[in-house]
Amino acid sequence: MGARNRVTSFLFHHFMGLEDKLSRQEAVVAVIGMGYVGLPLALNFARAGLSTIGLDIDPEKVRTLNAGGSYIEHIDAGRIAAVREAGTFEATSDFARLHAADAIIICVPTPLTKHRDPDLSYVINTVEALLPHLRAGQLVSLESTTYPGTTDEELLPRIAAKGFTIGEDFHLVFSPEREDPGNPNFTNSTIPKVIGGVTPACLRAGLALYGKVCVQLVPVSSPRTAEFTKLLENIYRSVNIGLVNEMKVVADHMGVDIWEVIEAAKTKPFGFTPFYPGPGLGGHCIPIDPFYLTWKAKEYQLHTRFIELAGEVNESMPHYVVRRVVETLNAQRKAVKGSRILLLGLAYKSNVDDCRESPAFRLLDLLSEQGAELDYYDPHVPKVPRTREHAQWAGKPSIPWTREAVSGYDCTVIVTAHRAYRLEEIVEWCDPIVDTRNALGSTPSRPGQVLKA
């Protein structure tokens, strides 16, 4: 056999080795980042019978997971305990364990800097930490949302510099997360999985990996296409939310209930998709992802006007809510300074404990700057978690839900519309109320008691 044929045979068996390991349930999968994206993904691989390593730099998370516990409300501890008992899942902070992994999936944060530029430090630091432990035959998949070109420009050169040839003795893909925390209708197994490989061989390896836990795979031509796909999904939402937020302000000035308008408009069976206004954007995706594309577009001398305008509108909404609070207090002949204000909801969306980028933090900051005395109630968030931008609120406890604790505030602001709220008690105990989510839309209230914002 000639040298060229021997190399071809070696490479073929290298890929088949990964595919065979997956088919025989012998592959080891490592997921880096045990947060809202990484933990449920790791549990799915473990539940599918694959030996799974969950890696996180937080030792408390590692201890909790190895004890069969959960620190994310919508992820039942029983799921973790089951895979721990089955011996298919183990958490660790030791990057050296990655050498044993056949597939490594990166699920770490990609926030913005204070100047709204992409902050890839978590991704870059993770890649640098795993490089000493890579070996031939492995697959690396990046799931963290980022700008088009990140996989090619940041990961590929670093891995290639270790002597690997991408698509031959090493595989590299980008597969964006599509996690929707707390949504009972969709999981990361049932949501179609977009995958883009650096080479066709990389794509095949990615499809073989994710085919173990995802019911529908969506292969695309490149990592850049997959990266752009994720951004388009969230920019679509950001722009439409910005539109309906602007319409809310216009409707308020015209004495029209925007919620009634939306209910009427969505009866049209074509050409309209309902989006709903709120006190501002929250979560790790929609407030952040659009600016990744805006930043990258500047490299091509392009100005993303729709994205930036939607961002301006959405970022202005907490200020609009504060103005409505001021109007409400003025009607009571009270100033914001010295007033006791209760926020209902700290999570960024209904029925979860996820506070990432929640507009509630911006409301706390703005009202505090005006001298208000602030408390919050959230049945899903008993204590304010530590955040990068709002560390001053860390540790503040939720008040208890009792008449004595809840009544007596000068104003109550509904920020998050949790199902757990007892709406009749809100109306009975709180007056006045600023409702940013139409949570009380169908609940009888006293004249002038509820102001929508």
- Gyration radius from the chain CA atoms: 24
Name residues whose C-beta falls within 8 Å of residue 317's C-beta, 6 or more positions apart in sequence.
Answer: 245, 277, 278, 279, 280, 281, 359
Taken in order 335, 337, 338, 343, is the CA torsion positive or negative?
positive
Stated length of the chain: 453
pLDDT at 3: 42
List the one residue out of 353, 347, 328, 349 whose CA is nearest residue 339: 328
**Residue 59 three-state SS:** helix
Q: Give me the helices (H) in 24-76, please.
A: 38-47, 59-66
Residue 202: active-site member: no
State the Cα–Cα distance between residues 405 and 429, nearest whole angstrom.
10
Q: Which tokens belong to 362?
A: 């911006």
Q: Catalytic pick from 107, 285, 355, 430? A: 285
Q: How does pLDDT run along the chain (453 residues), one tens digit per residue?
A: 444 444 444 444 444 478 889 989 999 999 999 999 999 999 999 999 999 999 999 999 999 999 999 999 999 999 999 999 999 999 999 999 999 999 999 999 999 998 889 999 999 999 999 999 999 999 999 999 999 999 999 999 999 999 999 999 999 999 999 988 778 888 888 999 999 999 999 999 999 999 999 999 999 999 999 999 999 999 999 999 999 999 999 999 999 999 999 999 999 999 999 999 999 999 888 899 999 999 999 999 999 999 999 999 999 999 999 999 999 999 999 999 999 999 999 999 999 999 999 999 999 999 999 999 999 999 999 999 988 788 899 999 999 999 999 999 999 999 999 999 999 999 999 999 999 999 999 999 999 999 999
Q: Which CATH architecture does the domain made up of 237-452 adopt?
A: 3-Layer(aba) Sandwich (3.40)
Strands 193-197, 171-174: pairing kind: antiparallel
pLDDT at 309: 95
State the Cα–Cα distance between residues 83 and 190, nearest whole angstrom.
20
| pTM for the whole structure | 0.91
Please give the angle made by the CA atoms of 275, 281 and 287, to the nearest 5 degrees: 110
| Residue 440 backbone phi and psi in degrees, to 5 | -100, 20
The helix or strand, by DSSP H or E, that contains position 414, with its residue range, turns out to be strand 411-414
Residue type, 174: F
Q: Which tokens belong to 381?
A: 């968030």
Bridge partners for 343 per DSSP: 376, 413
The CATH superfamily label for domain 3-221 reads NAD(P)-binding Rossmann-like Domain (3.40.50.720)
pLDDT at 266: 97
| For the chain, domain boundaries | 3-221, 237-452
Name residues whose C-beta falls within 8 Å of residue 76's C-beta, 6 or more positions apart in sequence.
Answer: 70
Domains 3-221 and 237-452 in one fold: yes
pLDDT at 249: 97
pLDDT at 181: 79
Please give the angle made by the CA atoms of 263, 181 and 418, to the nearest 5 degrees: 50
